[in-house]
Structure formats: structure tokens, C-alpha cells
Amino acid sequence: MKKNPAAQALGKLGGKARAKSLSDAQLSEIGKKGAEARASKLSATERSEIAHKAVQARIAKQALQKRKGGKA
């Protein structure tokens, strides 16, 4: 199946191309809105599980850095 050239052109206007033209503050604001929207759709249990996984990943990363002799 061949891709629609018009759709491809429109796709190039958004995403990474758009992000290049935004400041760090603008990107942060967009990210915060997205995170808030995602969190509002999750149950308290789901949010807790996500937070727990983030803590475990952070601990594992710090342990790996310590073993390599890097900054923890």
C-alpha cells in the first residue's frame, strides 16, 4: 500500500519538526499538560504502580553507576 503524499507532508509539520521550533519552557508546559491528562485517566492503584516502577528503575540505575564507579 502506497502512502498518501499529502498526509506525509502534513505529518512533517508536526511532531519533531514542531518541537524544534519550541522553547524548553514551551515543551515543558506541553509535557505537563500531557502528564496531567494521562494521570487523570489512571486509577490511584495504577498511578501507584507506575511510581513504584519508577523508583525501582532509579534504584537500579544508581546501583549500576556505583558498580561502574560513576556518580550515583
List Cα–Cα distances, 47 to 24, 42, 51, in angstroms.
26, 6, 6
Positive or negative CA dihedral for 65, 67, 70, 72? positive
> Tens digits of per-residue pLDDT, 1-22?
888 888 888 777 777 778 888 8
> Tens digits of per-residue pLDDT, 42-56?
999 999 999 999 999
Q: Strand, helix or coil at 69?
A: coil
Lowest mean pLDDT among 35-39, 47-51, 65-69: 65-69
pLDDT of res. 15: 77
Q: Check if the beta carbon of residue 72 is closer than 8 Å to that of residue 65.
A: yes
Q: Where are the domains of the chain?
A: 43-72
